[in-house]
Amino acid sequence: MAKRSQSSQRWLKEHFADPYVKRAQAEGLRSRAAYKLEELIERDRLLKPGMVVVDLGAAPGGWSQYVRQAMGGQGRVVAMDILEMPSLAGVDFLHGDFREQVVLSRLEAMLEGRQADLVLSDMAPNKSGVDAVDQPRMMHLAELAIDFADGHLKPGGAFLIKLFQGVGFDDYIRDMRRRYERVVIRKPDASRKRSPEVYALGQGKRSLPQ
């Protein structure tokens, strides 16, 4: 318990000293993760007014909030999570598990027959600190996300997902390359250096997985 307490104290000290945390608080953003997305979107020019964007694992809402602001009110943002998320102006929130057909049916009704132009996933499991446990959980979520994009992202669309480097990562990227014309790996400045997280971006969804 003492080690866990010391680790928690170090994390809290680092968290509140983090310049991105301070900036998010000053700018009224829900999480520092918004700055990761901002860099990724600006670098690869992912957003255009009028797009339909689906944000998987959206709580607490930092990514959806940024996308809504960046599109200037033009377009549609649908956020989904199994956790509750306080409402955001201009963002449609769907509370539920997208693996369940009833939830998918509700999403399809909200989209009114349109497919997404961009699917985002910043999902991650609750970390145990044991790589042999955390990595398989992360890759399972990643598989669910890419399956979702297969069915709900329009041909030519883009898919951006957080991944942990480790077992299964290389196979996943190879799978993305079969599905998308262009796949790149990014490590935003706002990602903590010691974190194993990176972001994989697939652009130009192929009509059918190959």
Classify each residue of 5-44 as buried b or exposed e, where b means 16 or more C-beta atoms within 10 Å of its C-beta: eeeeeeeeeeeeeeebbeebeeeebbbbbbbbbbbbbeee
Q: Are strands 180-186 and 52-56 parallel, antiparallel or unpaired?
A: unpaired
State the catalytic residue, choosing from 3, 48, 127, 162: 162
Is residue 162 part of the annotated active site? The answer reads yes
Say how far apart CA 33 and CA 122 lie, in whole Å: 9
Helices and strands, counts by H and E, the chain: 7, 7
Closest CA to 178 of 202, 142, 153, 144: 202
Closest CA to 197 of 185, 182, 181, 180: 185
Contacts 24+ apart (CB under 8 A), 137-145: 138/163, 138/164, 138/166, 139/163, 139/164, 139/167, 139/168, 139/169, 139/172, 141/57, 142/172, 143/172, 144/98, 144/99, 145/56, 145/119, 145/121
11 annotated to a ligand binding site:
no
Tokens encoding 160: 């951006």
81 annotated to a ligand binding site:
yes
97 annotated to a ligand binding site:
yes
Binding site: which residues? 61, 63, 81, 97, 122
Residues that are catalytic: 162
Which residue positions form the known binding site for S-adenosyl-L-methionine? 61, 63, 81, 97, 122
